[in-house]
Each structure stands twice: as structure tokens, then as C-alpha cells.
Amino acid sequence: MKVTAELSLYPIDNNYLPAVVAFIDTLREAPPAPDGGRIDTLVVNQMSTQLCGDAAAVHGAIGAALARVAEAGYKVSLVAKYLTTALPLEQAVDLDAARGELEPAGQ
């Protein structure tokens, strides 16, 4: 099963950057899952990190990244949203096409 996850990590410390970098580095270094599943896409931006791939690989990478920052002594809050499908994370949304599909309210 393919999944897409959006993650936001909130370190509970003024020195937040090392925890965020360690978390993202661990996601980037994630090995394949025992069943051979892989992370297909990893996108990092200023607001969140998105992963798309095989469920076991995505879950394993998130668990490993959270364990790494916890074992390093960082206190963090991780907010995750999951979709049970693969999204084309690197593809921009075509808002002009979406506007053409909208009907005026009340019709």
C-alpha cells in the first residue's frame, strides 16, 4: 500500500534547529523496509515535510527519525497527517483548471 504523510516537527526548546535537521536527515537516510518497500518522494519546505512511498518504509522512517531525536535528548512534538494513497508531491496544483470546475454557489 502506498501512503503520503505530511509531518511537522515542533521542538520544545529555543535551540530547535539541531532537532529538525537530525529528524530530516534520518528520513533522508532511511533504508528500504524489510519487505523491500521504499520512500519514493521526500519534499522538505519551510512549513512541513512530505513523504510518499510504501507504507512500511514511510512508517519505519518516521519511527526511526523520532527515535533519533528522542535518544539525542530533544523534546519534540510531531504532528502527522496520512493519506492512504500516493500524491504527486512534486507536481504543482493547477488552480486555473480547478477554478474551471467550480460552479457558482446555489446552482
Question: How many CB atoms neighbour CB 20 within 10 A?
Answer: 17
The answer for 26, left when phi > 0, alpha when psi is -120 to 50, beta otherwise, is alpha
DSSP 3-state of 28: helix
Task: Return the amino acid letter for 5.
Answer: A
What was the pLDDT predicted at 39?
A: 95
Locate 12 and state its grid cell.
Answer: 520544545
Q: Encode 34-45: b = buried (16+ Cβ within 10 Å), e = exposed.
A: eeebebeebeee
- Give per-residue pLDDT as tens, 28-61: 999 888 899 999 999 999 899 999 999 999 999 9
